[in-house]
C-alpha cells in the first residue's frame, strides 16, 4: 500500500504555490467572493481509511458534482427508463449549451450537462414526495452526516441569474421532456447545485460508486449495473468539454463543479476529492486537475 498521507502532503506542497490558480466562477454572484487560496484534498480508501491535507474540512458549493448524486437517486427510483429521456454521449460543448438540445429535439446528450441534470431533477420532482427534503435525506444517509445542507443564498443567486437554465428548461418543456412546472424543477435544480459539502463529506458521499453501490454504512442503494453506468458517464462526460483531457492526465471517472471541487474514484480502491476554487478555461479546477494527475502518477493507481 502506498503511503497515502505522505503522497497527499507532497502533492499539496507542490501545488499550493502554483502562481496561476485559475479564475473564480463569478457568473454565480454568490460564489464570486470565494478565496482562491483555498485548497484541500481528501482520500477515502475502500478499506475505510481516511487521509486529508489543507482545507479538506471546509464546506464549499458542490455545484455540478451533486448532479451525480441526483442521477444515482433517479436511477434507483426509475431504473433503465431514465435513458428514454436523456442520452449517454459526451456533448463536446460547454455545460450550458442550448443549440444541441434544439437540434436533438429536447433529448439532452447526457445527465451531467445542465439540460440533462434538469431532466433528472424533473424525474426526482415527480418521484419524491418532498423533493428537496428527501434528496437531502439521501445525501445525509450516504455520508452518515446530518449537518449537510443546501446554501439558500447560492440557490437564490442562481435563481435570479440562471437565464440559460430557464432557457434550457423551457426548451425541454417545449419538446415535452419536462413533466413538471419549469419553476418547480428549477427550484429543485438550483437547490441541488447549492448543496455545500467538504472534501471529506464528498469522498464519503461518492463511496458507493467505488463500493458496488453500498454506502459507507454498507447499505445497498444502487445495483452493480447502475454503478457501472454512472462511472462510465463520469469518465466520458464528467468534466465539461475536457473529459478527454481528464482521462488523459488523471485516468479516473469523476465529476467537477464550478465551485472548484472535483471527486474522482477508482472502483474497489478509493474516492479522492479536491477543492481549489480557481477554474481553468474549460471550467475545471486548475489546482485540482494538477493534484489529481500527480496523485494517480505517484500512487500508480488509475483505471488504465
Ligand atoms: N449551478 C450551475 C449552473 O447551473 C452548475 C454549473 C456547474 O457546476 O457545472 O450553471
Q: Which atom of ligand 1 lies closest to the CA of 63?
A: 8
Q: Whose CA is nearest to atom 3 of ligand 1?
A: 114
Q: What is the pLDDT of residue 96?
A: 72
Domain count, the chain: 1
Pick the atom of ligand 1 nearest to 190's CA: 1
What confidence tier does 1 reach under pLDDT thresholds 50, 70, 90?
A: confident
194 is catalytic: no
Region 12-37: mean pLDDT is 93
What's CA 238's distance to the chain center, in Å? 8
Q: Is residue 284 part of a domain?
A: yes
Q: What is the C-alpha separation between 32 and 23, in angstroms, rounded?
A: 10
Domain assignment present for 304 = no
Question: Contact 280/241 with Cβ under 8 angstroms?
Answer: no
Distance CA 300, CA 294 (A): 10
The pLDDT assigned to 302 comes to: 97
Q: What is the CATH number of the domain that holds 135?
A: 3.40.710.10
The neighbouring-strand residues paired with 272 are: 43, 264
- What residues are in contact with ligand 1 under a 6 Å CB criterion? 63-64, 95-96, 114, 158, 165, 193, 257-258
The residue annotated as part of the active site, out of 258, 271, 285, 302, is: 258
Query: 252 with 266: CB under 8 angstroms?
Result: yes
Q: Is the confidence at residue 171, as pLDDT, over 90?
A: yes
Which ligand 1 atom lies nearest to the CA of residue 258? 8
Cell, residue 283: 471550467
Torsion of CA 125, 131, 137, 141, to 10 degrees: 0
What are the pLDDT digits (tens) for 109-150?
999 999 999 999 999 999 999 999 999 999 999 999 999 999
Contact call for residues 254 and 56 (beta carbons, < 8 A): no
State the residue range of the domain holding 113.
4-299
Q: Given 189, 194, 271, 285, which residue is catalytic?
A: 189
User: What pTM was estimated for this model as a whole?
Assistant: 0.97
Q: Is residue 223 part of a domain?
A: yes
DSSP string, 190-232: HHHHHEEE-HHHHHHHTHHHHTTTB-TT--B-S-HHHHHHHHH
Burial (CB < 10 A; 0-12, 13-18, 19+), residue 38, is middle
Residue whose CA lies nearest to ligand 1 atom number 2: 63
CB 62 within 8 A of CB 193: yes
- Taking CA atoms, 191 is separated from 8, 107, 147, 187, in Å, by 32, 23, 16, 6
Q: How far is the CA of 2 from the centre of ligand 1 (A)?
A: 35
65 and 257 in contact (C-beta within 8 Å)? yes
Going from the Cα of 114 to the center of ligand 1, the distance in angstroms, rounded, reads 7
C-alpha dihedral, 289 to 3 to 304 to 275, nearest 10° = -20
Q: What is the mean pLDDT of the chain?
A: 96
Smallest CA-to-CA distance from 272 within 42, 8, 38, 3 is with: 42
Mean local confidence (pLDDT), 22-39: 93
- Give the residue, out of 61, 66, 94, 96, with the most ligand 1 atoms within 8 A of its beta carbon, to mutate for a pocket test: 96
Instruction: Give 200-254 pLDDT, tens digit per residue.
Output: 999 999 999 999 999 999 999 999 999 999 999 999 999 988 999 999 999 999 9
In a domain, 215, yes or no: yes
Hey, is 291 helix, strand or coil? helix
Count of H-run helices and E-run strands, the chain = 13, 8
pLDDT surpasses 70 at 95: no
Q: Does residue 41 have a pLDDT over 80?
A: yes
pLDDT per residue as tens digits for the range 280-293: 999 999 999 999 99
Amino acid at each position: 500500500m502506498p503511503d497515502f498521507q505522505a503522497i497527499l502532503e507532497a502533492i499539496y506542497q507542490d501545488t499550493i504555490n502554483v502562481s496561476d490558480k485559475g479564475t473564480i466562477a463569478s457568473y454565480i454572484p454568490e460564489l464570486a467572493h470565494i478565496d482562491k487560496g483555498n485548497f484541500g484534498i481528501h482520500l477515502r480508501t475502500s478499506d475505510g481509511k481516511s487521509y486529508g491535507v489543507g482545507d479538506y474540512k471546509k464546506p464549499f458549493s458542490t455545484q455540478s458534482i451533486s448532479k451525480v448524486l441526483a442521477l444515482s437517486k433517479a436511477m434507483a427510483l426509475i431504473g433503465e427508463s431514465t435513458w428514454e429521456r436523456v442520452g449517454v454521449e459526451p456533448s463536446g460543448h460547454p455545460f450550458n449549451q442550448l443549440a444541441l438540445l434544439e437540434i436533438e429535439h429536447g433529448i439532452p446528450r447526457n445527465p451531467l450537462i445542465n439540460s440533462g441534470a434538469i431532466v433528472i431533477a424533473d424525474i426526482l420532482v415527480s418521484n419524491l414526495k418532498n423533493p428537496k427534503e428527501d434528496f437531502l435525506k439521501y445525501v445525509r444517509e450516504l455520508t452518515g452526516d446530518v449537518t449537510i445542507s443546501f446554501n439558500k443564498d447560492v440557490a437564490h443567486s442562481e435563481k435570479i441569474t440562471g437565464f440559460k437554465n430557464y432557457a434550457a428548461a423551457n426548451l425541454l418543456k417545449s419538446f415535452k421532456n419536462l413533466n413538471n412546472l419549469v419553476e418547480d424543477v428549477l427550484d429543485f435544480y438550483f437547490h441541488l447545485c447549492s448543496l455545500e459539502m467538504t472534501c471529506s463529506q464528498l469522498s464519503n458521499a461518492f463511496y458507493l460508486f467505488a463500493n458496488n453501490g453500498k454506502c459507507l454504512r454498507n447499505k445497498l442503494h444502487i445495483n452493480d449495473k447502475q454503478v457501472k453506468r454512472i462511472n462510465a458517464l463520469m469518465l466520458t462526460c464528467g468534466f465539461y468539454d475536457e473529459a478527454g483531457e481528464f482521462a488523459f492526465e488523471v485516468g479516473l471517472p469523476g465529476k467537477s463543479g464550478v465551485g472548484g471541487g472535483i471527486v474522482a474514484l477508482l472502483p474497489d480502491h478509493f474516492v479522492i476529492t479536491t477543492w481549489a476554487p480557481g477554474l481553468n478555461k474549460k471550467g475545471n479546477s486548475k489546482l485540482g486537475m494538477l493534484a489529481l494527475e500527480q496523485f494517480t502518477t505517484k500512487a500508480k493507481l488509475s483505471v488504465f
